Structure 1
Amino acid sequence: MADKNATKTKIMDTAEGYIVQGGYNAFSFRDIAEAVGIKSASVHYHYPTKADLVSAVMMRYTQAFAEQLPDPTDEKFDPKALLNGFIDGFKAKIVDQRDMSLCTMLTSNKAILPEAVCIELAAFYQLILDWLSRVFVRLDQIDEDLGLIQASQLLACLHGASILVQGTDQPDFFDRALSEWKARCQ
């Protein structure tokens, strides 16, 4: 059983790496098999289709992300610190690593994604929007609708800034683009 789970994890890790580097069409099952050191039929055994594999990668990514998020309604957490930590975490994971996020790459391929992958991608974004909304509700003492607007604006800024950094190869654009949001964390 442990070998089976280890193989599934290696397959998902490898697929995630390919997606981050080149999107949904960046790999085939043969590429995964070669990188993991197994037969292509073994990849199909664990994940019958590419949609199954990428959906599993997204589901795992969402679960891992959710586990890292503190409860934004817990009074022991300062909403400014939560917001600052989220922005800094995004920068560390995406900008400092010189990668695009898994979700940004998949979103750029949305027109060709199978429905199952789109559902998992939407679930990830909804998780972030819900969490950020609750942070903004506490931070600014606003209603949920305004919290969602601010969450949407911040998320758009984060993704836009990461694309700008990749496109220009100038990491300082991230800090410039996020300067107003970071000022709110002071």
Structure 2
Amino acid sequence: MTVERNDTKTKILDAAEGFIVQGGYNAFSFRDIAEAVGIKSASVHYHYPTKADLVSSVMVRYTADFSSQLPNPNSEKIAANVLLNGFINGFKTKIVEQRNMSLCTMLTSNKSVLPESVCVELAAFYQLILDWLTQVFVRLDKIDKEEAFMQASQLLACLHGASILVQGTNQPDFFDRALSGWKARAV
């Protein structure tokens, strides 16, 4: 019985994530989730009493999954430039090849309507990325953490800006143009 419950929760989270990526926080209702999963709306409420609970859970899972895919930024087995290049290419895959905005970009664009619990999880995700990139830049450029954090912030802003530009213009080559300087450093 527990397995079925977990499968249902996973399906609910998957459906919610898909709706958010396609249209943001207000792009779905519990009824939409129920229909997508093939359950009753009351079942969605059973697992996630509020939309804030549901979207916060989506973010917690997304952050955990993302974190598990990040290589150790201090591992001597992987060069810092390879880590940086891999991160940029991973972002490109999502934005250009899959033609999707990232979950966090969509939620950030809706920040004014997000419940506080979702904002907390969103901030935790961005902090995870900034901390990881900071460690990569410390290794790559042999600089202190403050300067590395500034570079991490600039790269993340460039990645998000490039993703908006690509989606807004429907011109995928803008991604490579916007990131050309960062990619050159990752060679």
Return the TM-score normalized by structure 1: 0.99
Partner of 2:167: 166
Partner of 1:118: 119
Structure 1 runs of 4+ with >2 Å offset: none
**For 1:185 and 1:122, how far apart are their aligned partners in 2?**
26
Partner of 2:137: 136
Extract unaligned runs of 5+ from structure 2: none
Identity %: 77
Partner of 1:107: 108
**For 1:155 and 1:9, how far apart are their aligned partners in 2?**
29
User: Does 2:79 correspond to 1:82?
Assistant: no
Query: Post-superposition shift, 1:76?
Result: 1.2
Extract unaligned runs of 5+ from structure 1: none
Partner of 1:45: 46
**For 1:70 and 1:35, how far apart are their aligned partners in 2?**
34
Query: Post-superposition shift, 1:175?
Result: 0.2
SS in 2 for 1:176: helix
Query: Post-superposition shift, 1:79?
Result: 0.1
Q: Deviations over 1:22-41 (max 9, x none)?
A: 00000000110011110100
User: Does 2:63 correspond to 1:57?
Assistant: no
Q: Deviations over 1:74-104 (max 9, x none)?
A: 1111000000000001101222111110000
Query: Post-superposition shift, 1:154?
Result: 0.3
**For 1:58 and 1:174, how far apart are their aligned partners in 2?**
25
Partner of 2:5: 4
SS in 2 for 1:44: helix
User: Does 2:183 correspond to 1:179?
Assistant: no
Q: Deviations over 1:118-165 (max 9, x none)?
A: 000000000000000000000000000001000000000000001000
